[in-house]
Structure 1
């Protein structure tokens, strides 16, 4: 299983934030360890499956995923980027690790001996096999760059790259046939000694033996597991979805918090929004047999007692407009705005173009002809580039219409559209892009013909940001009729996924404008957000009374949302990310230095919502913080307890979070670090005593002078229910 993805979610722009587990190493490590143990099973001899944590390490930029370089100090690697992997190996006993595409401090992860041999195997005792991310060896070759792709381009050919990987003691296995074929060639040429193959063979076979792949099936402890068991997780799916619901905001309307909605007092509910009648899954999800959308979950919950009014979301499918010449600042010798066209006799736009000229627009339809008379052969490509200054700032829609080709669009070198060939079809793909007024942007469109289809068509255009701040759809009418409105908003894999970083912060175009109109029509409006990362929208917080973050909630998501909105379930999820107000509050995407303002540990601005934040339909207090000892040994534990009292009228869950502050001088000192947490159920008007323990060794920091772990002498223990809501503090000393 090439899972879990445990790269740290250090920046909300990363397209695969949805696959990861948050911005904190302790939180991530605990979740993935439980995940790994569940998948691998607890049999003393046989693994149920072998898990593969990925992508080792610092794989956080989809727009630069193949050739990017992460400059990170050993200190930050040790303290932040490594711990979850270490826990997955040492505690979870994971059997596979996948290396990343990117370079780390100039060295590709796939050939990084220090990462794999010295740290992972030598220090952490990893005894499974290491696999490279798909094609990562090929990306270290010069041929990769010659084909028009961005990579590391270090080795002359694939044989040399394969030899380098084997001799570096990094990979044991690869998922491309090229690796196996070229490895034999490298060995025949004497570039890889036999013992390197033996090492890889032993590491790989060891996992195969633990999986029972070479034993009689009768020995398998799971031989009688019915297939239906693997496809019947509705109860668990509902529990997980409900547990993950985060109540971001619940302000009073007419003196009473809007949520939970009272079914008995409602006759009509309006359900609207782009995510209302779809079930958004994250990438790499399975296929559910009976999924429940938010609309269906709400209808099923309310039954015939309450009328549900639904208006389908109307996507903006207006015609793409060509970029006006007035907005193009790349000029020809007559002072006219133009695109520069470069023509290639290969299907990758690789190497040097065979011809070039200027064109007024990217809008072509070729039938059994070539874009340029100099081109020949079956495969060819054209690269169009220009520079523009947008007429206004806002959320544009970039689009490409194509046939018989593949097409790519990038803005300032960042990919925004990667359109694949669809045989015999006219196709259109669009993507939102935020542009600022009076700024210069380089636009690149590449069309690549790699098939024998006669028709070859490509057209690039955009749609301007919406200027009207009122929404004219049927949503306003049903909002006026309803007792309450449930607006299911947010994003989807259209905006964030593998190979696509987010290009629009906050809500997509049109959503805030619609909500503003809906709120005027009906103040009893609840927003349900769906996303795999944070939503940066101060407007939402300032205007909408109730906001529920539902993420991508899986096959039972609709039921989980309905149960939560109407109070069958009392939400207790907590944010695994800092919600910032704007990406402008963050360092540049490519800057990996946490101390410049990343994560709750170093973020120095006011967040929209803090790491660990989450509300409930009841109220809790915390008191009676007790430390078993205020002086602990370096090899001991910090044992503490705290009383949690439910002072409200509903049963509910509270999440006790324990943060530690280093009360001594050291470099790169964070504001605080999460070191323990526990979710506890407390009945209304009752209290529970929660006990937690922290290994003193987990408080250590990396000393750059000694190149080893070190402990301070004094630490502040902070207990609360969010990183910005600390209730109790005390201090311990390390002897």
Structure 2
């Protein structure tokens, strides 16, 4: 048998298994089968913006921030770094004889759902609201993660398939009703693009139903579209607990055996959960033909063969642990953090002179949490906004927290920080306000203890205490540079009206403080663009549970946004001259070298991004780009 024919090797190995052994390998924490030389393996690993939940790792900006770079080439380098560190960790973990949760090679990322509504708590995990941008960035991430060798470096998993973007509180029982046009034009486009361009190893099914069918057991989504129309040839894993949901919450079938049988029959091969233990009963009762069990087990074992788990010549086995959080990776992280920051407004105050006396005010100024987002690793060193500015500014730096991140008022047993903030503002030349939210206030159902909306937000406003802080500091009369940190749109109507400059930081990772300081003080020109629309109020939007794309995202929004999708300023003066539909001349008429993303749109049937190129252009330089 050809050693490199992973499918044939898997078929031969599965043929030697009993029915019970085959089924055992279809559950995410698969046990060892010692007689066949198969070690125990846990399939669950996270790597959204760095190896997560597995100790120290390079922590990149949250996915929404990396999307703001509009730089697919850099996204690929990020994928390469994450997979280097994943392999390095796996090479050490496997010396224990098996790998436990978050210690393997099968990564359940990227999240390529469309961020259609800013209230959705998990939108921070996505590449934004545009299907093309999402597809392009995810494709490069997948290529960087999986590598191009004989073996797969790691497996990447596209999630959550499909039509999944809140409400978090209802995700285990919700039915998303969408038109066929919206289904293909918006919700499935990025999945199709990635499958065609990146050959991802896996797809994760979502919790919800679409058109009445549970996603992880949907004949329409899986058999007809994913495997049929899209030609996907990998394996499908359920989201965690999603097979249980089919009978327990969706009430689509009556019991676990029927749920498991339906899911496997329609092409969900791996269960994150325990419901597939009922497959033994399903087979005994004749509810499921063994050919579906065989197919699932063969796909899963082929994936493990392709990852080199049964061989001793895998080219990635020698990646040393020294690469984890190394200096080279920190430099790539810093570059991505710089490119993730979006300059929304600038009246000319930026860049600041190095000797400027600044007050750094706000609950996010010295926060580690605001750097990390969710599904994150642990940085071995990190730069808060305060630290980055302190190490860069040559003038006086005065820090005051000013207010808590959230809450209704102040605790008498703690300091009352508002007056300290006002003192700091009065003693400065410029105030840098670091406000916004963190993943404490937006995220996944079950992760947030402080959010009564189960991860989603009820509105897009700043917390009330921060509004009070902002207005009090503004009244001091000093110029204000407002830095908003969030994983989603926050209403910045007042800040856009009142402040000298406004910047958006999307949970910028461990190097976020250095990146922000580099931009504030002119070491680097900002180049990020918004991957989502910044609305003025949720009053401008349909209900969160309405999955129609009418009046959503830049493609279909009927109102006037505060900042549109793709908005982002530089310190230079960039001229775009389109000489034809697919040719643009880009000229830098300003004094700063800068990166710049050129976006190509078509306007029918709706304005839609269809091309992008990210370039570095020097002052006085012109470049001609062909799309």
Normalization by structure 1: what TM-score?
0.67
**Does 2:171 match 1:75?**
no
Equivalenced residues, count: 502
Alignment check: 8 A CA contact 1:57 1:99 kept: yes
Q: 690, 693, 697: which is aligned to 2:625?
A: 690
Larger Rg belongs to: 1
* 1:160-559 mapped onto 2 (5 Å cutoff): 160-167=258-265, 169-179=266-276, 181-216=277-312, 219-232=313-326, 233-251=329-347, 257-264=348-355, 266=356, 268-279=357-368, 280=370, 281-302=372-393, 305-315=394-404, 472-499=418-445, 500-559=455-514
**Does 2:493 match 1:567?**
no
> What is the CA distance between 1:316 and its match in structure 2?
8.1
What is the alpha-carbon distance in structure 1 between the residues aligned to residue 179 and residue 478 of structure 2? 50
Higher helix share: 2
Which residue of structure 2 lines up, in the alignment, with residue 23 of structure 1?
Answer: 129
Secondary structure in structure 1 of the residue aligned to 2:157: coil
Alignment check: 8 A CA contact 1:40 1:49 kept: yes
Secondary structure in structure 2 of the residue aligned to 1:580: coil
**Does 2:563 match 1:609?**
yes
Which residue of structure 2 lines up, in the alignment, with residue 114 of structure 1?
Answer: 220
What is the alpha-carbon distance in structure 1 between the residues aligned to residue 119 and residue 227 of structure 2? 32
Alignment check: 8 A CA contact 1:485 1:522 kept: no
Q: 45, 54, 60: which is aligned to 2:165?
A: 60
> What is the CA distance between 1:521 and its match in structure 2?
1.5
Alignment check: 8 A CA contact 1:495 1:503 kept: no
Alignment check: 8 A CA contact 1:471 1:517 kept: no
Q: Deviations over 1:158-186 (max 9, x none)?
A: 1121122223x22111122342x211121
Q: Which runs of 5+ in 2 are unaligned?
A: 1-106, 411-415, 446-454
Q: Deviations over 1:700-724 (max 9, x none)?
A: xxxxxxxxxxxxxxxxxxxxxxxxx
Relative to structure 1, the CA distance from residue 296 to residue 492 in structure 2 (aligned partners, 3 Å threshold; closer, same or farther) is: same
> What is the CA distance between 1:587 and its match in structure 2?
1.0
> What is the CA distance between 1:565 and its match in structure 2?
0.5
Relative to structure 1, the CA distance from residue 316 to residue 537 in structure 2 (aligned partners, 3 Å threshold; closer, same or farther) is: closer
> What is the CA distance between 1:298 and its match in structure 2?
0.8
Which residue of structure 2 lines up, in the alignment, with residue 410 of structure 1?
Answer: none
What is the alpha-carbon distance in structure 2 between the residues aligned to residue 624 and residue 98 of structure 1? 40
What is the alpha-carbon distance in structure 1 between the residues aligned to residue 405 and residue 282 of structure 2? 54
471-480 vs 232-241, which moves further: 471-480
Secondary structure in structure 2 of the residue aligned to 1:53: strand
**Does 2:596 match 1:641?**
no
Alignment check: 8 A CA contact 1:484 1:522 kept: no
What is the alpha-carbon distance in structure 2 between the residues aligned to residue 291 and residue 316 of structure 1? 20
Alignment check: 8 A CA contact 1:471 1:514 kept: no
Which residue of structure 2 lines up, in the alignment, with residue 660 of structure 1?
Answer: 602
> What is the CA distance between 1:270 and its match in structure 2?
1.0
> What is the CA distance between 1:125 and its match in structure 2?
1.5
What is the alpha-carbon distance in structure 2 between the residues aligned to residue 19 and residue 220 of structure 1? 31
What is the alpha-carbon distance in structure 2 between the residues aligned to residue 128 and residue 115 of structure 1? 15
What is the alpha-carbon distance in structure 1 between the residues aligned to residue 501 and residue 467 of structure 2? 14
Aligned-residue Cα RMSD (Å) equals 1.7
What is the alpha-carbon distance in structure 1 between the residues aligned to residue 135 and residue 264 of structure 2? 29
* 1:668-707 mapped onto 2 (5 Å cutoff): 669-670=605-606, 672-692=607-627
Secondary structure in structure 2 of the residue aligned to 1:16: helix
Q: Which structure ranks higher in relative contact order (CA pairs < 8 Å, sequence separation ≥ 6)? A: 2
Higher strand share: 1
What is the alpha-carbon distance in structure 1 between the residues aligned to residue 494 and residue 401 of structure 2? 24
> What is the CA distance between 1:306 and its match in structure 2?
2.0
What is the alpha-carbon distance in structure 2 between the residues aligned to residue 287 and residue 297 of structure 1? 19
Which residue of structure 2 lines up, in the alignment, with residue 50 of structure 1?
Answer: 155
Q: Which runs of 5+ in 1 are unaligned?
A: 145-150, 252-256, 318-395, 398-462, 465-469, 628-639, 663-668, 693-735
What is the alpha-carbon distance in structure 2 between the residues aligned to residue 10 and residue 561 of structure 1? 27
